[in-house]
Every structure is written in C-alpha cells, then in structure tokens.
Amino acid sequence: MIESIVMIFNVLLFMIAGIFNGLMDTIQHHFDRSYFADEKDPGFRKWLRSDWLNKYVDRDMKKGLRKIKHTNIPIPAIIIDGWHWFKGCMILCLIGSVITFNPAWFVAWYFYLIYMIVLAGAWHLGFRISYENMIK
C-alpha cells in the first residue's frame, strides 16, 4: 500500500516538474500573450519576466553580480526572476522524484520501460496544463 502511494507521489512530482517547465516556456516565449502580462504589480511583473541581466548591478556585467544587502554574498540566481524560480522548482521536483524512486518496484526490465513512458506522459500532461492555460 505504502509503495503504491510513493509511486503515485513519484509520478505527481514528475507532472509538477512538467508544469514548472511549461511556466518557464510561457515566460520566455509568450510573456506578452500570457496571463503573467496582466499582473497589476509592476515590480512583480518585472520579476516574472525572464531576464538574465537582472543578476548584475544596474544590469551591467562589468559592475558585477548583485549582492544581498549588507553582505558580499551574490543573490542566488533562483530568485532573480520568475523563469529561474520556476526552473529551481522544477529541479527540486525532479530531485524529489529521483529520491523517492525505488528500483524494487520492478521485477523485469520492461517495467522500467513502461514506467519511463508513464513519467514522460506525466511530464507532457503537466507541461500542457500550464503552457496551454497560461496563454490567452
């Protein structure tokens, strides 16, 4: 019973990772046509937009990385903008899926193949849910 719950959780993590991947693609390729563009708070809207230059002081590479206030510690890329945030969340879901996977679930090699197809389907479903529903 517990193994079934963990297996379902494992597949759900993969699906959620696909959702985050769909959000990343929406931000990068269709921001102006997405519901993200309707965000009223200009600061949050600017944060959502994918812009790798945000990690630099005044968006200038020559001035170096932005630092956490009153420290010399660079701001982690994961919180620089929405794209990097969703990417970090996607990676955490994938790590969780790897950690919860149990090879003892399968007694024959073809079960691995079936499970890979299930995971690919879960990823695709998650991606489609977020990507298609975030674009107006």
Instruction: Please tell me the total count of domains within the chain.
Output: 1
Distance in angstroms between the alpha carbons of the first and the last residue of the chain: 42
**Which residue range(s) make up the domain with 105?**
2-134
Question: Which amino acid makes up residue 74?
Answer: P
- Give dist(CA 113, CA 107) in Å, integer: 12
User: Is 112:106 a contact under the CB 8 Å cutoff?
Assistant: yes
What is the torsional sign of CA 47, 51, 52, 56? negative
Tell me the pLDDT of the chain (136 aa) as tens digits.
788 899 999 999 999 999 999 999 999 999 999 999 999 998 898 888 877 777 888 878 888 888 888 998 988 878 888 999 999 999 999 999 999 998 888 888 899 999 999 999 999 999 999 999 998 8
